[in-house]
Chains A and B, each alone.
Chain A
Amino acid sequence: MSEHVAPLKLYFFVFISLLVLTLLTWRIAYIDLGRWNTVVMLVIAACKATLVGTFFMHLRWSASMVRLVLFAAIFWLVIMITLTIGDFFSRNKVSDAHPWQASTEVSQPLATATQR
């Protein structure tokens, strides 16, 4: 049922959970976990976002069409981030910086072939 009226107690429970998670992420940030700091932060942020979305934004009781829109948005966001990162951080990973110059002998017959 889309027009579900949630019990008030649930909203307060979600609120308290969000505050506890905020406190948790804030205190953990002062501990040096190396690159895991970011992972922990993002996992906690994702949990908080899920709580807000599920209960405050009524996704728990929403039509599946509405959830599909959210899923599509997140899916496209993931595509944008992964492809951009994949591009940026693989640019200097190729051992030969100029592969098209190194293979001149191989492409020579091709070059002469196109001249003819």
Chain B
Amino acid sequence: MNYEITLLTTMAISVIFALSLNLITGFCGQISLGHAAFQGVGAYAAAMLAKAGWPFFATLPVAMLLAGALGVVVGMASLRVREDFLAITTMGVVFLFVGVVRQQDWLGGELGLSAIPDHGLGKTGFMGVTLLACVAVALLSIHIRRTWMGRVFNGIAEDEDTMRVLGIDVPRYKLAAFAIGTALAGLSGAFYAYHLQFIGAENFGFIESITVLSMVVFGGIGSVAWVLIAAALLSALPAWFQVIGDYKLLVYGGLLFVMMRFSPGGMAALARRLFNPMATREGKS
């Protein structure tokens, strides 16, 4: 039972992380290659506060706030650059994050932060909290999509110049997407810190950023349900495929490539083709 509980918690944290990126990339069309940096900010914030004696639930809002604040800064920076440079700028952000954190001794330096205090909820309790948060984030994503903010996001993702002509303050909306998405990434980071009770800068680097991006793309950018499923599956991949343990990265890379090659819309597009071959393309999951 212990193993399953740990696994479910890991999956829940990954799903929150992926859904947070889905908001930025999926709803608003901004490709971020540095999302792990925001998870890292949340993780380190929660870890430092926990070590300073803060109770578990108090660290969460701070983690979200700090991650969101950094998100706004990065968002403002990324507004200045051309679209194809955005990916590389966000990549730069995550390398900066890792590079800075690694050199700071007060953040644990190269060795990272260990002995992060317990949350006091017990393994099952913690799993419950993360699963609840996971559901909440999914519901929030779905809700946002139903609001005018979601409709504007969709428009921006498709054709931002036309949105300007419709009176939309596009930069402001992009910043909003960044703020919400990065804050939620911070939340997943806080959970991550408590879950593993040990974090290092390299846990939040470029590889982790493209891993979470591939979960979003694999599921189908913008589709809440399928990104959830994809994130849950892919984060549990090492567990499902114990038998191919040595080859798991090979399978992972291969899966990504094959999916992009044959169904760029991800699992969502596959599902649409299978269950609804006659329907015209809609922006829903």
Do these two chains really belong together in a complex? Answer: no
Question: Which A residues are closer than 8 A to B by beta carbons?
Answer: none
